[in-house]
């Protein structure tokens, strides 16, 4: 049976979107992932979409979602991915085992196009290694 995971962040435009796409692409036989934020951005960060496209992960239809879209739904795991020191992570009042796995916000990257994309790649790869690794051992 497929387990459900909710990935939470503030803007739902970068880290949580990459986590949702990675989980569904790499672990879709075990997990169904959705993501949301408390203050959703107007759009998914284009660098997040580019970083996912580089590893052949489809993101068509991706959009930032408000946490209230999932109110009343049951999840096996609720993961917050905000960087505690710099941000206020959302709290999920519903069911589900809560876990915090912090990743720096790649949207804060500075520099030229290549430098920003490199930052998104680093965070994408870290999410794949740490979060998917944790889910695989759950």
Catalytic site residues? 9, 82, 89
Nearest to 64 by CA among 87, 84, 85, 90: 90
Q: Using CA atoms, how far apart are residues 83 and 87, in angstroms rounded to an integer?
A: 6
DSSP assignment string, 17-61: HHHHHHHHHHHTTTEEEEEEESS--SS--HHHHHHHHTTT---TT
Going by the DSSP 8-state scheme, the letter that residue 109 receives in this structure is: -
């Amino acid at each position: 049976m497929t387990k459900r995971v909710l990935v939470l962040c503030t803007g739902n435009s970068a880290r949580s979107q990459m986590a949702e796409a990675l989980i569904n692409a790499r672990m879709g036989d075990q997990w169904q992932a959705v993501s949301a934020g408390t203050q959703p951005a107007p759009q998914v960060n284009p660098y997040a979409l580019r970083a996912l496209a580089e590893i052949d992960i489809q993101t068509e239809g991706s959009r930032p979602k408000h946490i209230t879209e999932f109110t009343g739904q049951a999840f096996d795991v609720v993961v917050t991915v905000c960087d505690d020191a710099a941000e206020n992570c959302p709290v999920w009042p519903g069911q589900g085992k809560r876990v915090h796995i912090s990743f720096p916000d790649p949207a804060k990257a500075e520099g030229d196009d290549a430098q920003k994309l490199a930052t998104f790649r680093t965070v994408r790869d870290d999410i794949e290694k740490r979060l998917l690794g944790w889910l695989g051992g759950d």
